[in-house]
Amino acid sequence: MANVLILHICSVLLLSRVESCSIPSSLYVVVPNTLPPGSHVTTVKVAHCDTGPTRLSSSDPSFMVSSNGVIETATPVSVAAEGRTFSVWARDDSGPESEMVVHLVHSVAYKRKKVQELYLRRSKRRWSPPPFNILENLEGPYPKRIEMIVSDSQAVHRVFYTASGPGVDEPPLEVFSLNKTGMLFVHKKVDREKYPKFTLTVRVFDIRTGLETDIPLPITIEVDDMNDNAPTFKDPLQYIVLEQSAAGTVVGKVNATDRDQPGSLHVKLRYSLKTGMDLFAINPATGVITTVTNTLDREVKDKHMVIVEIRDMEGAVNGLFNTGTATITVGDINDNAPTFSKQSYAANVKENENGELILRIPVDDKDLKPTPNWISKFVITKGNENGLFRIETDPKTNEGLLYVAKPLDYEQNPNVNLEITAQNAADLTGTSANWLTVPVAIAVQNVDEGPAFSAPTVRFGVKENTPNGTLIGSYIALDPETKSSSGIKYYKILDPGSWINVDKNNGELRVANTIDRESPLVHDGLYNITMRAVDASSKTGTGTVIIVVEDVNDNLPMIPTSELVVCEKEGELGSVVVVAEDNDQTPFASPFSFSLPSDPDGRWSVTSLNGTAATLQQMKELPTGKHMVDLDVKDLQGFGKTQTATVRICSCRNGACLVNPNSKSLGPMALLAMLLPLFLLLLLGLLLALFCSTKKEHHEFVDVGDSGGILLKSNIESPGEEVDSSLITVPTTRAESVVKGSVKGFAAANPGWVTSNGSGTMGTKSIHENGMYNDVATSDMDHLYSGQFNQYGAQSFGGNYMGTADNRQLNQDTTLLHNWQTNGRYLHQKLGYFGTEEDGRFADDVSHAYGYEGVGSAAGSVGCCSDIGDDDHLDFLNALGPKFKTLGEVCRKT
């Protein structure tokens, strides 16, 4: 912090009361080279300011001047070697402002004379004035002068001034005005809380030229605060404090605010209580409310209303203030135990009742409902050692509800005394009291009851197989009131095996049927019987008899009757484990002893394995098959007999014999294995049939005899769109002779044709690659028709050739011959196509092959037209064997 030295302040001129405040015109201050923000520079002494408040301002924004004349730095300030200068302005409401020039230097080597000269030199008013100040809500009359604004250009120009900005020509309008001479006026009250500052722009113009004579001047008008706002509460004044809290416990904090200028005296608040000061106090600076006593009692008063005052101006009497009512709620603690409305309680209950509500016990608790401090919890602290009672809390009424938990017996205890304590869900605190207890007397009322057996359950031990009629004991009942069994009858309710008889007059129990410990009615050696006793008034009572069935040695140890398998192994003798079972218990059962009663040839030996099993060992090679081995098996008491074990010696897989000769039935797999060959045979037949019917290659039949000893093909055209029957026209010639084997009807319709036997001079045929036949030898007709009519004009039907007798007549009909040759070519091409067809599209429109049996065959010709004239003679059907045998060897697709 800089050392502040005020070197000299000139003498203050005495002014009258109507003159303005006066300050020194010049001031020198020695400071360091650099001043941080908030550094104290000096203090300005202001004189003759009796007419009102004095406003001080700085021309340099790096410095602040407070109302009491203290100058401090607002920002970091650097002072050069030649120093730094700024002005401080002072004014009040009665006159113009005064200026003081402050010189900052960082050297004290200056002369007194120079100081005097500088101090007495008059400063010149400059164009850049400091901010102006006006007081908010200033009383009239208006307008009021603020300040005279003077430009340096006024010394050489005749000028006029204008102003613009908020408060002049911008909202709020008509607050300020500036006349042409530079006097600034205010015209109305200004609220600082709404408009804390105005910034105007002042311009100066030459009257004659209208040109600006200086740069525009921004002027700041700051509105000084007046204490016109009373402080207000920010938050609701609602607080809670627990009862019996110690003195000094914080209750809460009062939060308040003031709209006046922050940091000023107008917003410095003080807090105080106007009521409730006997219980509470408030910190005047922070507003924190605390207790001053530990006597707060919610049960006496659960809320306190306290008046709180807040005042500004640090609580001065002339400060503005406000008051509010704080509500302080006293919180509850469990400082009150529940109390009973009576000193004791009594209740009646009938014997044998169960689950009945017999008593309501009301309590009173002063604590807050329905908190854990108030909710009651009842405890039976005495007299309920047998758990005969239970107690609950009614959630609505907070009463204790006493119930009977188990039936009471008047004959055993006609009166029961209880003690019940009332507690809370929360523990007691803030009090020396304890939980309270109340006595409760329970009177058990007598009820006429049925007979009761001497004990609810009784046991009798009986050996199994005990003879019928044997007395095993008696089970009697007594009347609870008379303690006598006179007049009581006894009956069985449950006896699953009818093993026991009951004497209805005296309750004696005797064996009625054989008692078997191994019976499924016996569980863990126990057999239960339920009995009923009925008195003279038909009242009943029930009881249970448990018969403990004692074991006797009535079961032999037995070996299994199923076959025991001994698996053959290469180079060693087999063995098998024999396990015996005995339904008796120790000491009438295991451990068992095993022995061979007789084995003269030494084929087997037996060795004990454990208490219930033995190993039967093969001692010599034995044949595969079934063997019967006698074994003596006895229990621990030596009770047993000779039994036969069936042992099978066999080859095994996974411990089981591979072949079981005793099987009398076949399983599904065996049946399937037997049927499989039959299925395969059937499948083979189907495959052969399919192969035969779909074979495609052509068979060539070799003629071993004459030219007729072969099968000849013949086509039968079925009707269809592929064949135009009109194209086939047979030449009209006269037939001279018809021999057997010709086409019936065909030759008759064409008398010019002559047929001849296929073995004659017309020649033989050979199979062509397309299934047709070509001539091997030709006749004179081939030359007659230029080699063409031989194929088309002389056709083969059933092994014969058909021709004409008069060739000269055929030559004369050249037109008809030409048509026949054309049709022949067409048929030749179609038959060649049918011979290679595979898709069956033309059905029977294919070439068919026929067999020729040879000369002298009993079957004769197999041609379809060979015996047309013998339609009525069917004897040949009896001799078709050789024919069909040959046909069966030919497979063609049809």
Q: What's the CA dihedral at 787, 793, 799, 804 to 10 degrees? A: -110
Tens digit of each residue's pLDDT (9 = 90 or more) over 220-259 = 999 999 999 999 999 999 999 999 999 999 999 999 999 9
Q: Are residues 743 and 876 in the same domain?
A: yes
Closest CA to 289 of 325, 322, 262: 325
| 160 plus 64 within the same structural domain | no
Which tens digit of pLDDT belongs to each residue from 180-219?
999 999 999 999 999 999 999 999 999 998 899 999 999 9
The mean of the pLDDT values for the chain is: 76
254 within domain boundaries? yes
Q: Does 703 map to a domain?
A: no
Angle among Cα 135, 204, 22 to the nearest 5 degrees reads 40
Q: Could you tell me if residue 436 is inside a domain?
A: no
CA–CA separation, 358 and 402 (whole Å): 6
Task: Say if residue 107 is in the same domain as residue 174.
Answer: no
Verify that 515 and 600 share a domain, yes or no. no
Average pLDDT for 549-568:
83
Structure tokens at 763: 């020649």
- Is pLDDT above 80 for 263? yes
User: In this model, does residue 620 exceed pLDDT 50?
Assistant: yes
Which domain range does residue 376 map to?
Answer: 339-423
- The residue out of 284, 301, 331 marking a domain boundary is 331
Q: Does 735 map to a domain?
A: yes
Q: How many CB atoms are located within 10 Å of the residue 111 CB?
A: 8
CA 364 to chain centre: 52
Q: Which helix (H) or strand (E) holds 444?
A: strand 436-445
pLDDT the model gives residue 22: 59
Q: Are residues 757 and 852 in the same domain?
A: yes
User: Average pLDDT, stretch 722-738?
Assistant: 45
Q: What is residue 790's predicted lDDT score, i.e. its pLDDT?
A: 40
Share of the chain above pLDDT 90, in %: 34
CB atoms within 10 A of CB 332: 21
pLDDT digits (tens, 9 = 90+) for 687-708: 887 776 655 555 454 544 444 4
In a domain, 53, yes or no: yes
Most confident of 50-64, 472-486, 795-809: 472-486
In this structure, are 109 and 141 located in the same domain? no
Residue 672 lies in a domain: no
User: 106 with 141, same domain?
Assistant: no
Within-domain flag for 670: no
Clarify whether residues 594 and 721 are in a common domain.
Answer: no
Q: Is residue 165 very low, low, confident or very high in pLDDT (cuts 50, 70, 90)?
A: very high
Task: Check whether residue 757 and residue 883 sit in a common domain.
Answer: yes
CATH number at residue 282: 2.60.40.60
- Beta strands (DSSP E) in 637-716 are 640-650, 652-653, 656-657, 712-715
Residue at 345: amino acid letter:
Y
By CB neighbour count within 10 A (0-12 exposed, 13-18 middle, 19+ buried), where does 600 fall? exposed
Q: Are residues 102 and 151 in the same domain?
A: no
Q: Is 861 domain-assigned?
A: yes
Q: How many CA atoms lie within 13 A of 850 on its CB side?
A: 21
> Could you tell me if 778 and 811 lie in one domain?
yes
Same domain, 13 and 153: no
Whether pTM > 0.85 for this model: the answer is no
- Nearest alpha carbon to residue 7 among 122, 103, 134: 103
Residue range 468-494: average pLDDT?
86
Total count of domains within the chain: 7
